[in-house]
Amino acid sequence: MATDCLFCKIVAKTIPAKIVAENSSCVAFRDINPQAPTHILVIPRHHTASLNDAKDAALIGEMHLMAAEIAKAEGLAERGYRTVINTNADAGQTVFHIHLHLLGGRRMSWPPG
């Protein structure tokens, strides 16, 4: 755990979050500032700053599979949803503990802004 990391504190449950799923490797919780009717973040328990630092291919896969399971549970799978990892400044990453955004419940445009 990185002691000054917001998302490590959510994993440790020292900061509250609306947790929707968790297993031995990942935790998913609702974004505090949702950009769509459903906006959930899937994070690994183990601190990793960004995709640039990711080493564990299975873990990156597990994050995506957890997002797909949640999308099904939230009734988004048929209609569609978006999964996004923002990396560093140009993509607008603001929290430096890797997280997969799961967004759904509205029509989204492409390309993203």
Question: Which positions are catalytic?
Answer: 99
Which residue of 3, 14, 24, 33 would you call a contact of ligand 5GP, by CB under 6 A? 33
Out of 93, 98, 100, 103, the only residue in the binding site for ligand 5GP (CB under 6 A) is: 93
**CA separation for the pair 84, 80 (Å, rounded):** 14
The reply on whether position 99 binds Zn ion by CB under 5 A is: no
The residue count for the chain:
113
Instruction: State how far the Cα of 65 lies from the Cα of 63, in Å rounded to an integer.
Output: 6
Binding part of the chain for ligand 5GP, among 19-27, 59-67, 91-99, 104-112 by CB under 6 A, reads 91-99
Does 45 bind Zn ion (CB under 5 A)? Our answer is: no
Residue 10: CB partners within 8 Å, gap ≥ 6? 16, 17, 27, 29, 43
Binding site for ligand 5GP (CB under 6 A): 6, 17, 29-33, 41, 86, 92-95
